[in-house]
């Protein structure tokens, strides 16, 4: 199941050319870009690992693309996203975040039912990938 997260999630995967255009848009607005990666794609997982520090004061997208490619090299089968942080007072939040890498095979999610009091049901979703230990969740077993 193809995971959709962040901006442009319902579009086909962006090519490097398209990623560059988006990065240039973000830089043009003065947003700081950072690269993050994870192998736990649960939608409520906010804590992705940081690939280096956020990059402040950049003028050109080539530097960010370089970091993305370095990260892809190190984690070819993980999820990688780019976050653009808007540091203006009054906003101070992530303004744009989109995926730039995903595993070749994505097993998807299992629906979990928990029986609570009075026969009530609580529903959760659980990524199948999480059944394997961290670091070996994607790619060949």
Partner 1 sequence: MTRPGFALPKPAESRPGPGQDPAAPEPLADDATVDLTAERCGAGVDQILDALDSDLVGLRPVKTRVREIAALLLVDRVRGRFGLSAGPPSLHMCFTGNPGTGKTTVALRMAELLHRLGYLRRGHVVSVTRDDLVGQYVGHTAPKTRDAINRAMGGVLFIDEAYYLYRAENERDYGQEAIEILLQYMENHRADLVVIMAGYAERMETFFASNPGMSSRIAHHLDFPDYSLDELAAIGELMLREQRYRLSAAAEATFRDYLARRMTQPRFANGRSVRNALERARLRHANRLIAADGTLGKDDLMRLEPADFLASRVFSA
Greatest extent of the chain over all pairs of C-alpha atoms, in Å: 59
Asked if 139 touches partner 1 (CB under 8 A), the answer is: no
State which residue, 17 or 89, has the beta carbon closest to partner 1: 17
CA separation for the pair 64, 76 (Å, rounded)? 17
Plot region of 94 (φ>0 → left; ψ -120 to 50 → alpha; else → beta):
beta
Cβ pair 61, 23 in contact under 8 A: yes
Angle of helix 62-74 relative to helix 16-28, nearest 10 degrees? 130
Cβ pair 33, 58 in contact under 8 A: yes
Asked if 108 touches partner 1 (CB under 8 A), the answer is: no
Least Cα distance to 29 among 68, 89, 86, 93 occurs for 86
State which residue, 73 or 93, has the beta carbon closest to partner 1: 73
State which residue, 43 or 76, has the beta carbon closest to partner 1: 76
Binding-site member from 5, 7, 38, 69 for partner 1 (CB under 8 A): 69
Asked if 35 touches partner 1 (CB under 8 A), the answer is: no
Asked if 58 touches partner 1 (CB under 8 A), the answer is: yes
Candidates 35-43, 56-64, 88-96, 125-133: pick the segment binding partner 1 (CB under 8 A). 56-64
Asked if 15 touches partner 1 (CB under 8 A), the answer is: yes
- CA torsion sign for 54, 55, 60, 65 is negative
Distance of closest approach, residue 30 Cβ to partner 1, in angstroms: 14
For binding to partner 1 (CB under 8 A), which residues are involved? 12-18, 20, 52-53, 55, 57-67, 69, 72-73, 76, 99-102, 104-105
């Amino acid at each position: 199941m193809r995971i959709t997260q962040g901006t442009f999630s319902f579009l086909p995967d962006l090519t490097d050319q398209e990623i560059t255009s988006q990065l240039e848009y973000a830089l043009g607005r003065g947003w700081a870009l950072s690269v993050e990666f994870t192998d736990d794609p649960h939608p409520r997982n906010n804590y992705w690992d940081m690939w280096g520090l956020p990059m402040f004061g950049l003028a050109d997208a080539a530097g960010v693309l370089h970091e993305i490619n370095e990260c892809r090299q190190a984690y070819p089968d993980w999820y990688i996203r780019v976050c653009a942080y808007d540091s203006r007072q009054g906003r101070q939040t992530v303004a744009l975040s989109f995926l730039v890498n995903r595993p070749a095979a994505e097993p998807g999610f299992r629906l979990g039912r928990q029986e609570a009091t009075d026969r009530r049901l609580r529903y959760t979703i659980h990524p199948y990938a999480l059944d394997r230990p961290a670091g070996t969740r994607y790619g060949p077993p």
